[in-house]
A and B are shown apart, each in its own frame.
Chain A
Amino acid sequence: NAGVMQNPRHLVRRRGQEARLRCSPMKGHSHVYWYRQLPEEGLKFMVYLQKENIIDESGMPKERFSAEFPKEGPSILRIQQVVRGDSAAYFCASCGQGGDTQYFGPGTRLTVL
């Protein structure tokens, strides 16, 4: 849905660098989800956040990955020391309340060289 903004749309990083992916939810939405999609795969849940709270990060790798959704500003998915296996499309989705219909952003395609 055009209302959810993600940037950058494409990101290229070398192994060992950091990747920061940003997501601005639809206006009025305070719940954000992050998903990872590998080629020809479905979307894998990573983390679910509300403003200033991480509700469920069970899908996120324990190391190198972190997410936040501050009181002001976009939600950030941060990947430290990227490896080639991190190359994927990362989508965020927002909704008004947990369990509501999720509206997806255009995604960030991360390529690790």
Chain B
Amino acid sequence: GQQVMQIPQYQHVQEGEDFTTYCNSSTTLSNIQWYKQRPGGHPVFLIQLVKSGEVKKQKRLTFQFGEAKKNSSLHITATQTTDVGTYFCAGSDWSGGSNYKLTFGKGTLLTVNP
């Protein structure tokens, strides 16, 4: 079945440093979504990427979808303590008819030292 791998598993940075998490799928994806989960909280939708090579920005966050639609990245510029949490990617593959199912990566836990 489809697998989504995410690295690194943990990342600790000093406030102001940049952060990147990478997501790789074993199959070509129809779209990829990114979620953030604060400690003790629930996943909150950040963004969805659909097109090959797509790049989207949200303030200090930059999301990228690879040309082959098998990988994606999330980059945070100049991290702040409010960025702390686990960032998950989740991909869907519509080729089998199951456009509704998301496969989540294990997430990257970001901690920020003030």
* A interface residues with partner B (beta carbon < 8 Å): 1, 31, 33, 35, 40-45, 48, 55-56, 91, 93, 98-99, 101-107
Contact = CB atoms under 8 A, between A and B. Distances in A.
B63 interface: no
B65 interface: no
Contacts of A99: 92, 94, 99-100
B106 interface: yes
B44 A104 contact: yes
B28 interface: no
B100 A42 contact: no
Interface residues of B, number: 25
A42 B48 CA distance: 18
Nearest to A95: B100
A7 to B, nearest CB: 13
Contacts of B101: 45, 48, 56
Contacts of B107: 42
Contacts of B48: 101
CB-based closest 8 A-B pairs = A98-B100, A42-B104, A99-B99, A42-B106, A43-B104, A104-B42, A104-B43, A106-B42
B99 A98 contact: yes
26 contacts: A1-B45, A33-B102, A40-B9, A40-B106, A41-B106, A42-B104, A42-B105, A42-B106, A43-B43, A43-B90, A43-B104, A44-B104, A45-B102, A45-B104, A55-B100, A56-B100, A56-B101, A91-B42, A93-B43, A98-B99, A99-B94, A101-B33, A101-B45, A104-B35, A104-B45, A105-B42
